[in-house]
Amino acid sequence: MNLYYIITFFFLLFASKANFLVKSNLAWFGFEVFMIVVAFYFNRVKKKDVQFFLVSIAIYFIYILFRFKLNQLPIDYFKSDVFYFFKFVLTSYLFCLILKEKTLYYLVKVISHLALVSIVFYVLQFYQDGAILKAIGKAFESITVETYSLRYTNFLIFTYDTIHYYRNSGFCWEPGAFGSFLTLALLFNFLMNDFKLNKEVFIMTLAILTTVSTTAYLAVFLLFFLRYRVLNKGSKVTIIAFAILLAIAIPNVPFLGEKIVEIYDQDIKDLKRIEELSTYYDDVQRQIPLNRFASAIFLYEQFDWKLFLGVSNQYDEYYIHEYNINISNGIMDFITKFGVVGLFALLYRFGAVSKVYLRKTEYVIYSIMILLILSFGEPILMLPICVIFMFLPTFKNQDFLALAFAYRTKYIQLQRPNNL
């Protein structure tokens, strides 16, 4: 186990939103200081890296200051965006700065190992209603947190929630989020290995199945179609046939089509009786759990034109005195925080990373669609696992080890002098 592995492991723990480390600002600060020391000690910091980071800081702060003045909100909203930068963005940049061309490789390696571990613990969930996991969690949390829940427990590498007793949450806060992390890692693995099937593919695919996440299933389905297109090329007829098949199949697959329709219908009903729900959930001291579609409609109705540039990381303070709502649409959550402009910037940078390996625009579009599908279900775009996409394109050409074998071969052939 080398230093890159350890840094990636803790990076994923901080990105998981599930454990006691995530809630500690001191832990975040300590991890950032550790990465800064490592970066300078191992000479990973170049002049152009510092210049790029300074430009990034300037752009970010000009952006949040401009929209703060435009939206005319309390100063706390601006402070929240500053705090987000020095917590999530700085952590993401330092991680990319240290690993650079090895970033995707170690993400796949560590996530596949965590996936394998999760499968073992997932099996234990079914033994005496998770008694073993509850015991491990209680012992761990007795020395890490002041209070712990009878329903939910986490011991860094695994989360057990009695509500999701038949689903695998892995090291994340819930099964859908774990499915998103796994699907991204599966995509990274395919990109680096020319879409070959290796042991990591089988481990992560099996783990994805245990999450029972509709969102992850849809994203993986599209990912394997991307694999088919890359390896078999196909034709426009193939693409059209696939689109028709997808349109017919999804509504008729019980755990996909029926669930989507059911969620949408329930969301519309919830929005119509939001006042009634607000009273009920205030009485039981819980948040109103709006689903994907209701979350999108609600946020649009609240902020309207402000969504172009976004509101703030603590946008919920805007309406929390009237409605205490839990938003579960990752795309709209990100747009409300950083606007349509911020979303397009992130997707553009993610596309730039994908294009290093895929090169063809059609394939890059598929990869972006996979990210959008995942983020529609889970608020992952704000997490370091996705923030790294803003920085990875800067380091992508610094070492050919990061590139797929086919790309390296073609590139080297093109660069080779004629007299050799």
pLDDT tens-digit readout, 230-262: 888 666 666 676 667 666 655 555 445 555 666
Q: Is the pLDDT of residue 175 over 60?
A: yes
What pTM does this model have? 0.87
- Evaluate the CA torsion angle 163, 167, 168, 171 in order and state its sign: negative
The predicted pLDDT at position 254 comes to: 47
The predicted pLDDT at position 171 comes to: 94
Question: CB atoms < 10 A from the CB of 205, how many?
Answer: 17
User: Which tokens in the block code for residue 411?
Assistant: 């590139």
The predicted pLDDT at position 321 comes to: 58
Nearest CA among 84, 89, 88, 68 for reference residue 310: 68
pLDDT digits (tens, 9 = 90+) for 345-394: 999 999 999 998 888 899 999 999 999 999 987 889 999 999 999 998 88
User: Which tokens in the block code for residue 196?
Assistant: 């070959």
Q: Give strand pairing partners of 152.
A: 161
The predicted pLDDT at position 420 comes to: 34
How far out from the chain centre does Cα 306 lie? 24
Give me the percent of the chain exceeding a pLDDT of 70: 80
Three-state DSSP class for residue 152: strand
Task: Quickly state the pLDDT bin for 285 (edges 50, 70, 90).
Answer: low
**C-alpha to C-alpha distance for 9 and 50, rounded to whole angstroms:** 25
Length of the chain: 420
Amino acid at 139: A
Task: Quickly state the pLDDT bin for 312 (edges 50, 70, 90).
Answer: confident
Alpha carbon dihedral 321, 323, 325, 330, in 10-degree steps, equals -90
The predicted pLDDT at position 377 comes to: 79
| CB burial string 142-166: b at 16+ within 10 A, e below | eeeeeebeeebbbbbbbbbbeebee
Alpha carbon dihedral 194, 198, 203, 208, in 10-degree steps, equals 30
Which residue has 């895929």 as its token pair? Answer: 358
